[in-house]
Amino acid sequence: MSIKIAVAQLELSTSAPAENVRKMNDAIVEAANKGAQLIVLPELANSGYAFKDLAEARRNAIHINGPEIAHWVELAREHDVVIVTGVALVEGQALRNSSIIIDGSGVLGKYDKAHLWNNEPDYFIAGDASPVVVDTALGKIGTMVCYDVEFPEWVRIAKLQGAQILALPTNWPDTGLPRNPTPMEVVRVQAAASQNKMVIAACDRTGDENGVTWVSSSVIVDENGLIQTLASSATQQILYAELDLPTDNSISPRNDVLKDRRTDLYSGLN
């Protein structure tokens, strides 16, 4: 099955959550009007990332049953698309760095980031559930958030649940590593896709935010880890790729990424 995927690399700010949501809405409509069937948005797209303090993070967070998500469901229904976006969610007294999968019927799945990066524990409670994989009209879509993809075991769990596509909202901070020929963040995505024979759509963000800059390297890779589209600059942009979803796990006439596992030898991983 061939589908058209869009990743919407947006300029976001903790000081303008309403503007962030407007940009998200506009990007969804633009991508849908250009034929995208799956639209992926960045990590913490509604709230921004580089919070000044916990109070700002709490002010910017939204509720799972709030009007913002209800509107995205309406857009998904109107345009017949699947949307995956990173969001800051408030659950009682806890804040979550989450990814949600939406279609016209509602929220199909919610995942809470399990592997928190740097100062994220100052704001968010880590998730304690495995990656979410849901059946959609487009195929089996899995999601996790940013740093999660750097743990091979975590991506493999999504694969074992049948994920054909991994939608990855991310905010990759620029840590000073060389970006040429390919940013390391993108290389990790390529490796994860190749090792698990799954398509990965990683949506990064852009724009200076409270002194933090970003790699701004949104990317879509196929199940062989080959780049289909890659952001060319640190600007707001929507990238598209149309590709077939993997239907089996074979990588040669005699090799299979799941059947070749030697689980009897892996007991030492813990």
CA nearest 145: which of 179, 194, 98? 98
Terminal Cα distance for the chain, rounded: 37
pLDDT for res 184: 97
* Enclosing domain of residue 20: 2-269
| pLDDT number for residue 138 | 97
- Domain harbouring 180, CATH code: 3.60.110.10
d(CA 215, CA 220) in angstroms, rounded, equals 15
Count of domains in the chain? 1
- Structure confidence at residue 267 (pLDDT): 86
**Residue 111, beta-bridge partner list:** 99
Tell me the residue type at 110. Answer: K
Q: What is the pLDDT of residue 97?
A: 98
Q: What is the pLDDT of residue 2?
A: 92
What's the confidence (pLDDT) of residue 156? 98
Q: Which two tokens stand for residue 178?
A: 């060389």
Torsion of CA 37, 42, 46, 47, to 10 degrees: 170
Walk along the chain (270 residues) in steps of 10 and give the mean pLDDT of each run. Answer: 95 98 98 98 98 97 98 98 98 96 98 98 97 98 98 98 98 92 97 98 97 97 98 95 95 96 87
pTM exceeds 0.95: yes
